[in-house]
Amino acid sequence: MRKVESVQQSDNIGRVSLRPGENASAVLEIGGRWLRDAGTEAVEGVLASIAAQSVKRLEIRPVGLEAWDSRLPCYLLKIADYCTAKAVDLDIAAMPQGVRDLLVLARAVPERAGARRQRERSSLLVNIGTRVLGLAKDSRLLLVFVGELILAFGAVVRGRARFRLLDLFIFIQDAGPNGFPIVSLISLLVGLILAFVGALQLAMFGAQIYIADLVALGTVREMGPLMTAVIMSGRTGAAYAAQLGTMNVNSEIDALKTMGISPMEFLALPRILALVLMMPLLTLYADLLGILGGAAVSYSAFDVSWVQYYNQIVKAVDMVDVAVGFGKSVVFALLIAIAGCMRGMACGRSASAVGDAATAAVVDSIVYIVVSDSLMTLVLNQLKI
């Protein structure tokens, strides 16, 4: 359809016709305009008729050839390759000099043996097997990373770790104070939502006052640490993976290694330290805002006064609950930072690999967070803490 249009527009058509000669020879006549969008007969058709006539000598000759660009040598290259493969004698001496030169150039470097790849269709079993092996490789990577990290922490304790204090402060600034706005917004709204959902049920029994218990306990033990962790994995974990991944693409990590500086100490350690130091504090802040959100709902919609709300919270939440939330957030921070740094340092060397590393870091850290949270909740429940 489109072909026909372009033909009508400019008479853009490349003509080709095969004239059989004597003694299994043939002449291929090339004419017309062989320009970018020109319509031509598919080269496969020409090759098929050459094969059908079992041609042994082929001459290509221009007949009324008006203009050409890459289309023509591209077309002739297919024919020339066919002739080489089938041991057909090819004569292109009559073609324009430029076409001949380009053909020579295109055939100057023979295809490297084994370069071409077979597109193989892998079966389901192979796919599953590859995935399982990949999983095993990933877990090994994680173990090695954690091992190296412990060694690096050892170096910190002995005061021998090589990293710049300034870096640590920059990362602290980035992971802590710079995270305030988003953490404030999310935790305030989650507190509001929690209060509303709970209050509608509790109000049926006239037990609105227990909104305070629900919100405070839920926020301090679970939602505060969890929401902060999810925010930070997207905000900071992904950033770590992208930073380290880009450094890997630029060979900066190699440069550190050859200087004899451990990238684990110099790059990963300050990032992990910063997040582990800042995230528990952010979590406490998130707890506070969540409780405030709950208070706003109770006060405005369910007639609970600020003082009642406060007193109820003091009764419901004790330091153990706060400590549980605090402890969880330390664990989450460690997991997020490890996932981010590990994926970044294991990043491939291309732009898309950096994106993959950031994605993998976020997915990993969210899985780690949820799994570890479930485990901790179970254990704490059994211990009656």
Is 384 among the residues that bind another protein (CB under 8 A)? no
Helix axes 269-302, 319-345, angle to 10 degrees: 140
For 169, the token pair is 């402060």
Q: Does 126 bind another protein (CB under 8 A)?
A: no
Question: 1 by DSSP, 3-state: which?
Answer: coil
Choose one: 23-31, 96-104, 124-132, 318-326; the region binding another protein (CB under 8 A).
96-104
Q: Does 366 bind another protein (CB under 8 A)?
A: no
Nearest residue (CB) to another protein, 3 versus 315: 3
Query: What stretches of the chain adopt beta strand conformation (E)?
Result: 14-20, 25-34, 57-68, 89-91
Q: Measured between alpha carbons, how far is 121 from 50 in angstroms, rounded to an integer?
A: 33
Which residues lie below 8 Å from residue 315, measured CB to CB, with a gap of 6+?
Answer: none
Looking at the Cβ atoms of 127 and 350, the one nearer to another protein is: 350
| Site membership for another protein, residue 124 (CB under 8 A) | no
Are the C-beta atoms of residues 29 and 17 closer than 8 Å to each other?
yes
Shortest reach from residue 62's CB to another protein, in Å: 15
Rounded to whole angstroms, the Cα distance separating 321 from 161 reads: 35
Q: Which residue has the tokens 């030169």?
A: 101
Among 93, 119, 124, 300, binds another protein (CB under 8 A): 119
Interface with another protein, residue 348, by CB under 8 A = yes
Which residue in 4, 42, 124, 165 binds another protein (CB under 8 A)? 42
Token reading at 173: 């600034």
Q: Pick from 285, 296, 352: which is nearest to 322 by CA?
A: 285
| Residue closer to another protein, measured from CB, 296 or 353 | 353
Closest CA to 241 of 132, 338, 145: 338
**Stretches 72-80, 286-294, 309-317, 319-327: which one binds another protein (CB under 8 A)?**
72-80
For another protein, which stretch binds (CB under 8 A), given 130-138, 170-178, 342-350, 374-382?
Answer: 342-350
Shorter beta-carbon distance to another protein: residue 130 or 311: 130
Q: One-letter amino acid identity for 166?
A: L
* Residue among 8, 93, 116, 300 that touches another protein (CB under 8 A): 116
Q: State how far Cα 105 lies from the chain centre.
A: 40
Question: Which of 13, 18, 24, 43 lies at the binding interface for another protein (CB under 8 A)?
Answer: 43
Which CB sits closer to another protein, 34 or 285?
Answer: 34
Q: Does 157 bind another protein (CB under 8 A)?
A: no
Write the CB contacts of 69 (distance below 8 Å, at least 6 apart in sequence).
Answer: 34, 35, 36
Nearest-10 crossing angle of helices 71-85, 97-106? 60
Give how many residues touch another protein by CB under 8 A.
39
Instruction: For the beta carbon of residue 266, count every other beta carbon within 10 angstroms.
Output: 19
Q: Quick one: how many helices (H) and strands (E) in the chain?
A: 16, 4
One residue of 34, 75, 163, 326 binding another protein per CB under 8 A = 75
Q: Is position 353 an interface residue for another protein (rule: CB under 8 A)?
A: yes
> SS3 for 285?
helix
Among 11, 37, 66, 254, binds another protein (CB under 8 A): 37
Report the residue from 63, 74, 155, 292 that binds another protein according to the rule CB under 8 A. 74
Which conformational region is residue 262 in: left (phi greater than 0), alpha (psi within -120 to 50 degrees), or beta? beta
Q: Residues 94, 351, 367, 385: which binds another protein (CB under 8 A)?
A: 351
DSSP per residue, 109-151 = SPPPTTTSPP-PPPPHHHHHHHHHHHHHHHHHHHHHHHHHHHH
Q: In angstroms, give the least distance from the CB of 6 to another protein.
A: 6
The reply to whether 66 sits near another protein by the rule CB under 8 A is: no
Question: Binding residue for another protein (CB under 8 A) from 13, 18, 24, 77?
Answer: 77
Cβ-based neighbours of 81, under 8 Å, separated by 6 or more: none
By the rule CB under 8 A, 131 interacts with another protein = no
Asked if 112 interacts with another protein (CB under 8 A), we say yes
121 binds another protein (CB under 8 A): no
Instruction: Pick the closer one to another protein by CB: 156 or 353.
Output: 353
Binding region for another protein (CB under 8 A) = 2-3, 6, 36-37, 42-44, 69-71, 73-75, 77-78, 97-99, 101-102, 105-112, 115-117, 119, 348-353
